[in-house]
């Protein structure tokens, strides 16, 4: 995996510890696995970041940070991966999740035009919300598992190829 690339762009533990607004966390940020870039920490970070990035919930970064700390995943990578769902990618991701949820629940896919008023939201929350969240949980779980397994595979393949290059030629 591109370890040097990740080290170049991810913040160092010292930089994060220097942020005054995070001092309430105390010694939690001193856990070494939160900052290591190895196969296990990175693959867990991909699982957590992709999972929370696909779910339509507020404070995705906070949830990703909490679970990264809980499961000893790479903290900055977990939080950064949540941004796969940004303002440009949210509508297609959530619409796809809604369509998958409606299909799995056997509901017809509604054609709707969003209106930013309370009456429209309160009337449509059940019709849209249940398939959206059901589909989001399914897609988030599948995408997180696939990303975890992909990182594990790619990391092992890279290590094997490096070991093969180090091996002296047989005469």
The residues spanned by each domain of the chain are: 3-165
Over the stretch 118-132, which tens digit does the pLDDT of each residue have? 777 777 777 888 899
Over the stretch 96-108, which tens digit does the pLDDT of each residue have? 999 999 999 988 8
To the nearest 10°, report the CA torsion of 113, 128, 139, 92.
Answer: 10
pTM score, whole prediction: 0.77
Q: Which of 121, 114, 139, 122 is nearest to 56 (CA)?
A: 139
């Amino acid at each position: 995996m591109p370890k040097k690339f990740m080290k170049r762009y991810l913040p160092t533990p010292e930089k994060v510890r220097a942020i005054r607004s995070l001092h309430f966390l105390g010694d939690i940020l001193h856990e070494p696995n939160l900052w290591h870039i190895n196969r296990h920490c990175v693959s867990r970070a991909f699982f957590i970041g992709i999972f929370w990035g696909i779910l339509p919930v507020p404070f995705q970064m906070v949830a990703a940070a909490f679970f990264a700390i809980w499961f000893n995943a790479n903290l900055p990578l977990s939080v950064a991966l949540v941004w796969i769902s940004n303002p440009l990618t949210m509508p297609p991701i959530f619409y796809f999740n809604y369509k998958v949820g409606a299909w799995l629940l056997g509901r017809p896919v509604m054609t709707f035009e969003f209106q930013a008023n309370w009456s429209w939201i309160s009337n449509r929350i059940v019709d849209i919300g249940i398939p959206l969240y059901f589909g989001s949980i399914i897609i988030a779980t599948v995408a997180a598992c696939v990303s975890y397994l992909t990182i594990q595979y790619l990391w092992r393949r890279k290590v094997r190829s490096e070991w093969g290059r180090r091996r002296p030629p047989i005469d």
